[in-house]
Homo-oligomer: A and B are copies of this chain.
């Protein structure tokens, strides 16, 4: 390989990386745009998210907690639910999530259940906490033993509950997830 084709090769790598980074910035810009619009509109908190598949946005979400009286209506949850509806499946393999802020534990759980490929986030949970949201507090609570949590968690009737797991194991035509 002569020097000229070598430099063309590395130029092409650089160009690909440049285009890819540019795409990422565009997707994140859209998530942030949603978060700002949402804060101004008063529909919910200042959070936005998009799901991307094959370099295309397939779903968008902005926090609707107060507008829809639904504490689970976070941007990421809404974007994930919409993306699943679009692909007609309960998993989002080969998809990426761009979110204007680090996901709270609820949204992080949803991301794992949806089995997304990758998550890009902009603001930190600590940034959200600074303007009054409980993201960091909930991360702290999750790490504590049941008995020490601010919302008491009390165990009872475990033996009875195991019947459901036996029924699940016995079901031959179940759809695991």
Contacts and interface: CB of A to CB of B under 8 A. Distances in A.
Interface of A: 24-25, 28-29, 32, 35-36, 38-40, 42, 44-48, 65-66, 68-72, 77, 80-81, 84-85, 88-92, 100-102, 104-124, 127-128, 130-132, 134, 137-139, 141-143, 151-158, 160-165, 167-169, 171, 173-177
A108 B142 contact: yes
A141 B143 CA distance: 11
B45 A127 contact: no
A119 B153 contact: yes
B119 A154 contact: yes
Given A32-B157, A70-B90, A114-B71, A123 B164 contact: yes
A18 to B, nearest CB: 15
Contacts of A29: 157, 160
Contacts of A112: 105-106, 134, 137-138, 141, 151
B24 A118 contact: no
Contact of A171 (B39, B107, B134): B39
Contacts of A173: 42
Nearest to A25: B157
Given A110-B106, A152-B118, A81 B90 contact: no
